[in-house]
Amino acid sequence: MLDHLKTTDYGTPLRESTQEVTLEIDGQSVTVPQGTSLMRAAVDAGVQVPKLCATDSLEPFGSCRLCLVEIEGRKGFPASCTTPAEAGMKVRTQSPKLQKLRKGVMELYISDHPLDCLTCSANGNCELQDMAGVTGLRNVRYGFDGANHLASAKDESNPYFSYDPSKCIVCNRCVRACEETQGTFALTISGRGFESRVSPGQDQPFMESECVSCGACVEACPTATLQEKSVIELGQPEHSVITTCAYCGVGCAFKAEMKGTQVVRMVPWKDGKANEGHSCVKGRFAWGYATHQDRITTPMIRAKITDPWREVSWEEAIAHAASEFRRIQAKHGQDSIGGITSSRCTNEETYLVQKLIRAAFGNNNVDTCARVCHSPTGYGLGQTFGTSAGTQTFKSVEKSDVILVIGANPAAAHPVFASRMKKRIRQGARLIVVDPRETEMVKGPHLQADFHLALKPGTNVALISALAHVVVTEGLLADDYIAERCDEKSFNAWKDFVARPDNSPEAMEAVTGVHAAVVRGAARLYATGNAEGVKTGRPVNSAIYYGLGVTEHAQGSTMVMGIANLAMACGMVGREGVGVNPLRGQNNVQGSCDMGSFPHELPGYRHISDTTTRSQFEAAWGVELSPEPGLRIPNMFDAALGGSFMGLYCEGEDIVQSDPNTQHVAAALSAMECIVVQDIFLNETAKYAHVFLPGSSFLEKDGTFTNAERRISRVRKVMPPLAQYADWEVTQLLANALGYPMHYTHPREIMAEIAALTPSFAGVSYDKLDQHGSLQWPCNDSTPEIGTPIMHIDRFVRGKGRFIVTQYVATDEKVTPRFPLLLTTGRILSQYNVGAQTRRTPNNQWHSEDRLEIHPHDAEERGIHDGDWVGIRSRAGETVLRATVTERIQPGVVYTTFHFPESGANVITTDSSDWATNCPEYKVTAVQVAPVTQPQQRSAWQRDYARFNAEQIAHLEAATDGR
Ligand code: SF4
Ligand code: SF4
Ligand code: SF4
Ligand code: FES
C-alpha cells in the first residue's frame, strides 16, 4: 500500500474494560484490556497478522481464515480476529504450517480474481494485493478455467462509486459497514457458496436501493470492488492533508487525498473525534463544487443592479467598496452600513469580519445566519445554564439509555451523528421523537421510536410543559440534584407553574394534538428510563438532541428554556450520556456565534455594553467601540426600507434565499446603495449586489471550524485560492482600504488574538490543535489540556441552574378558512441549506427539486395526486411546486425543503419571529394549497424571478464573455 495512505488497522475494535490480561505473542509480552482480540493484541505487540475480512471499524466476522494463529497447548488454528486474548496465552503468528494454510486461502481467492493488478484502480492500495505479497503466493494451481465471476457486469449507477463484482472476495466488510457503521442495512450477500455476491437491496442497482451513498462500504472494501469513480479516473493520490468538512455542524474530519493541488478523494479520518472514520454523501463525495465552472474568480463591480457587471482588479474592487461605504456613512451617518458574517467561513474569518465592522465601520451592525437558526439556543441556554452551547460530545450518546429527539431529523441534516445515535438505539437505548412528521428517526431499518409525539406545528411549548407536568406531579423529579445544583426560588416558581391542571397532558391534548397517554409515557421514559415511570434507583442517562424544529418558532427561545428546565428537573445535565444538545446546522455556525457575530455580543458571548470587556478590545484594537448593540438582520432590512441603512458587506451568506419573506428581503436589498457580496458563486443575494468579491472554498484556506460539540478543528489549505486570496485576506484588504490597519500573515495569528481576548478560548492555539487534533471550548488554564468535553459537570456555568416559567402562547400564524393548512420546512440528506454547493454536484440525482409533502386526506380533498403541480399561498406570497402525497406528514400539515431558489419556499414564509431573538418562524406558516392547471406559468413571483434571474445571468455573461 502507498505509504501515505497507510493508517494502522488494528483489525478489530478497541475494547474497554477495567480488567487487563497479559499474554505473549511471538515471544513479546503484551497487556491489553479484557475482550481484546488476539489480532489487536498482536498489533500492540508490533506484529501484523495477515487479514482480509477484519478491519478495526467493524466487529470481527471470521470468514477469510487468513488470520489463523497457533496457541500453545491448544489444538487447531483459531482465527486471531475472533479469538479473545487470555491471560498467560502463548501465541505464534508465524510457522511453516500457518504459512501453508494462508497460501492455500490466498490461492482460492486469486483463482476467482481478474489478475489485472497493473491496470486496476486499486493498484498500490489493495489489501488483496498486499496479502498475496505477505503470504508469498507465487502461483495458482487451480487455473482460471473453472467457474468464476470474471465476466460479472459492473454497477455504475451511483454517481460517485462503482461496484465491480468480478473483484469481490465476499469478505462481508461492506455489508457490515452498512449495518454497523451507517445503520442503513442496504446490502446483503445474496446466493450461497460460490454463487454468493454482494447485493444492494433486492438485487437492485445501488441507485435504486436503500443506499444513501455514505461511502462506508467503499471505505471498508479491501479491493477495487467498491471504488470511488474519482480514483478510477485520476489514479491513486500521492499525498494527503487532514481537514474538516465544510457542510454540516457535525464537523467530520477528512483526509483530503491529493495529486498536487487536485483532490482525488475525501476519506473520512479515523482519528477525527466527531466522526471516527465515518462520513455522509455530502462531505465524502460532494466536494466537486469547489472547482465548478460557475466559480467566480475575478472581482466585479457595477453602479446599479440593472447594469452589466464589469470585471476589475482586486485593487479597484476593494478601493471602490471602501469608498462607497465611506460615502454612504458621510451621507447617511456612521450607522448606515453593516455586515453579515458567514457560518461557512472559518472562525478566524468570522472574527475578522465582526472586527472590521466594529472597528472600521465604527458600529455594531453585525449579524449572522444564526439569527435565522439557533439564536434562540443562545438566549435560552444562556438564561438557564449560563452558556449557549451543547453540553456533550457526540460520543456521549454511546452512554445514553434514553434519547429524546425534538424538532430535528439528524438522519437528513446530521447524518454521521444519526448513525452513531442509531447504533446506540440498536444496542437497546430507548427513543422518543417529537416531530410533526414521521421522519427517518421514527421508523427505519432496525429502528422504531418508543414514542412519536406528532405534535401540531407551533405547539412545542405546550408539549414541553405537559411533559414537565408529568415529571412534577408523578414524583419523578431528581430532588437531590435540584437541591444541590439549581436555584431554589426559580425551581419552585416553575414547579408550581407546570403542576397547574391547565398544563397537564390531558388539558394540552387539544392544543398539541398528541394523545395524553403518549405524553405521559414519554415523560416517564425520559425521567426514569422506563415507560411505567418506576424509579428503580439505577442511574439512568437521558439525553436531549434538538434542532430547528425547536428554535424556528415565535416561542423558539421559550422552548429552549423549557427543554433546559426538563433536563434539570430530571437531573440530566453534567455527565456522559445526558445533556441538552442543539444540533447546529452549518459547519461553523457554533463558531460564528462564538466569534462575536451578534450585534450585542463581543467574542465569547460578552455583552457590548460591558465596559470592562469593551475596554480590553479597545486596547487591543486601538479604537473606541460603540457600547450600543447594532442592528439585527431583520432590523437592517427594515432600516433599509426606511432609508437609514444603505450599505452591506455580506460574506458567504445567501440572505435572499435563506431568509423568510423573500419579497421583503429583495425589496430591502433593492433599496440599498451599495451591497458588497463575497462568495464563491453568484448567489441569489449577489444578484442584488454592486461589488462582487470572489470568495474561497474550505479547500483553499487555513483556519478552524467549531462544530456542534464546541469542538475546534483545523481546516487546512490543500490548494491555492482560485481567486488569489482566502476570505480572511479579502476582509483584511477591505479594512486597510477603509483606513483601519490589519496585517495578519497567517490565520494562526488571528487565533492567537482571539485566544488573548476570549477567556473560553485562552488555551487554543494552532500548535495545540496540531498536537491533539481538536479542542473543545472552554479551553483555558482551568480546563484539561483538550478543553471541556462535557459541560456543567459539578456546577452550571452560571452557578445554580435557573428554571424559567414557560407559558405557552399560541402563534399568530393560525389556520383560518383562507389558510387552512400549516406549512413547515426542513432539509433533505443530499442537499445542503440553500443548495449553492450541493446543486453543483451529482447530488442532484437524489433530489433535483423541492417538493411539497401533503397527507393523502388533504390531497384528496383538493383533488391533488402524487406528482401534480400545486400552488401554495400564504399571507406573504405564492409559489408553485410539485406535490408528494405521503402519510409521513399528518393531516392539516404540509412540508417542503428550501434547497432550490426557483421553488421559492421562503416566498411563503412570513416575518413572524421569536419574541426574544427575531429568529424567523419558518416552521409555522398558515397556507392554502390547490392544484394548478397551467404549471408552466408558475406563480407571479416565479415568473418575476425567472425574468430577473435571466437578466442577472446576462449581466454576468457580459462581464465574463460567457466563460
Ligand atoms: S454507500 Fe453507505 S448506505 Fe450505501 S450501501 Fe454503502 S454503506 Fe450502505
Ligand atoms: S464488495 Fe468489497 S467489501 Fe464487499 S464483500 Fe466484496 S470485497 Fe468485501
Ligand atoms: S455529517 Fe456533516 S460534517 Fe459529516 S460528512 Fe456529512 S455533511 Fe460533512
Ligand atoms: S481476518 Fe480473521 S478470519 Fe478474516
pLDDT at residue 194 in the model: 65
- Lowest mean pLDDT: which of 172-181, 515-524, 822-831? 822-831
Q: What's the CA gap between 138 and 575, in Å, rounded?
A: 56
Share of the chain above pLDDT 90, in %: 71
Strand partners, 228: 161
Q: Indicate the pLDDT class of residue 40, thresholds 50, 70 and 90.
A: very high
Mean pLDDT of 849-865: 93
Query: How many percent of the chain have pLDDT more than 70?
Result: 98
Q: Which helix (H) or strand (E) holds 950?
A: helix 940-960
CA of 270 to the centre of ligand 4 (A): 21
Edge-to-edge strand order for the sheet containing 337-341?
310-311, 300-301, 691-694, 674-679, 647-651, 337-341, 366-368
Mean pLDDT of the 114-135 span:
84
pLDDT the model gives residue 146:
59
C-alpha cell at 474: 408523578
| d(C-alpha 9, C-alpha 432), whole Å | 36
pLDDT of 429 > 90? The answer is: yes
Q: How confident is the model at residue 963 (pLDDT cuts 50, 70, 90)?
A: low
- In this prediction, residue 686 carries a pLDDT of 94
pTM of the full structure: 0.93
Which of the ligands is closest to the CA of residue 247?
A: 3
Q: Residue 2 has what pLDDT? A: 54
pLDDT of 311 > 90? The answer is yes
In degrees rounded to 5, what are phi and psi of residue 452?
Answer: -115, 115
- Asked whether residue 962 carries a pLDDT value surpassing 70, the answer given is no
Per-residue confidence (pLDDT) for residue 372, from 0 to 100: 66
Q: What is the pLDDT of residues 156-206, one digit of tens each?
A: 999 999 999 988 989 999 999 999 999 999 999 887 766 778 889 888 899
All three cell numbers of 420, joined, read 452513531
Angle of CA points 770, 775, 777, to nearest 5°? 145
Q: For residue 656, which of 687, 684, 679, 680 has the smallest C-alpha distance?
A: 684
User: pLDDT grade, residue 828 (50/70/90)?
Assistant: confident
Among 81, 98, 135, 170, which residue has the most ligand 4 atoms within 8 Å of its CB, making it the best to mutate? 81
Ligand 1: residues with CB < 6 A are 177-178, 182, 184, 186-187, 200, 211-217
Task: Check if the beta carbon of residue 627 is closer than 8 Å to that of residue 334.
Answer: no
174 lines ligand 2 (CB under 6 A): yes
The least confident of 18-27, 118-127, 273-282, 664-673 is: 118-127
Mean per-residue pLDDT for 770-795?
92
The residues, ordered by sequence, that sit 6+ positions from 372 with a Cβ below 8 Å of its Cβ are 552, 633, 658, 659, 660, 919, 920, 922
Q: Are 164 and 194 in contact (CB under 8 A)?
A: no
pLDDT digits (tens, 9 = 90+) for 542-559: 999 999 888 877 789 999
Q: What sections of 146-280 are H helices per DSSP? A: 173-176, 216-220, 229-234
Nearest CA to ligand 2 atom 7: 168
| CA distance linking residue 355 with residue 352, whole number of Å | 5
Residue 268 φ then ψ, to 5° = -60, 135
Q: Which ligand is nearest to the CA of 127?
A: 2
Taking phi first (over 0 means left), then psi (-120 to 50 degrees means alpha), and beta for anything else, what does residue 384 get?
Answer: alpha
- Number of helical (H) and strand (E) elements in the chain, helices listed first: 30, 36
In the chain, the amino acid numbered 475 is G
The three three-digit cell numbers of residue 288, written as one number: 466537486
Q: Which atom of ligand 2 is nearest to the CA of 53?
A: 8
Which of 721-725's residues contact partners 24+ apart within 8 Å by CB, and which partners?
A: 721/696, 722/291, 722/295, 722/297, 722/694, 722/696, 722/697, 723/295, 723/296, 723/297, 723/298, 723/299, 723/694, 723/695, 723/696, 724/297, 724/314, 725/314, 725/694, 725/696
Mutational test site, ligand 1, from 185, 210, 211, max ligand atoms within 8 Å of CB: 211
Query: Cα dihedral angle (285, 703, 604, 318), rounded to 10 degrees?
Result: -110
Q: Enumerate residues lining ligand 4, CB below 6 A.
A: 51-54, 62-67, 79, 81
Sign, CA torsion 296/645/904/459: positive
Helix 505-512 vs helix 516-528: crossing angle, to nearest 10: 120
Q: What is the pLDDT of residues 866-876, one digit of tens each?
A: 999 999 988 88
Q: How confident is the model at residue 132 (pLDDT cuts 50, 70, 90)?
A: confident
- pLDDT for residue 661: 80
829-843: buried (b, 16+ CB within 10 Å) or exposed (e) per residue?
Answer: bbbbbbbbbbbbbbb
Q: What residue's CA is closest to ligand 1, atom 2? A: 214
Q: State which ligand 4 atom lies nearest to the alpha carbon of 67.
A: 2
Closest residue by Cα to atom 2, ligand 2, is 221
Q: Are 888 and 437 in contact, with CB atoms under 8 Å apart?
A: yes
Nearest CA to ligand 1 atom 7: 178
CA dist., res. 608 & res. 614, Å (int) = 6
Position in ligand 2 atom list of the atom nearest CA 220? 3
Distance 220 CA to ligand 4 centre (A): 14
Please tell me the distance between residue 52's alpha carbon and the centre of ligand 4 in angstroms.
6
Question: How far, in Å, from the CA of 172 to the mean position of ligand 4?
Answer: 11
The overall average pLDDT reported for the chain is 91
219-246: pLDDT as tens digits = 999 999 999 999 999 999 999 999 999 9
Taking alpha carbons only, the member of 946, 823, 836, 834 closest to residue 876 is 823
Ligand 2 centre and the CA of 172: distance in Å? Answer: 6
* pLDDT mean over 391-414: 94
Q: Is the pLDDT reported for residue 1 higher than 70?
A: no
The CA 196 to ligand 4 mean position distance, Å, reads: 18
Give the pairing type, strands 28-33 and 161-163. unpaired
pLDDT given for residue 782 in this prediction? 87
Best mutation site among 217, 440, 829 for ligand 1 pocket (most ligand atoms within 8 Å of CB): 217
- Give per-residue pLDDT as tens, 76-106: 999 999 999 999 999 999 999 999 999 888 8
Q: Are 34 and 22 in contact (CB under 8 A)?
A: no
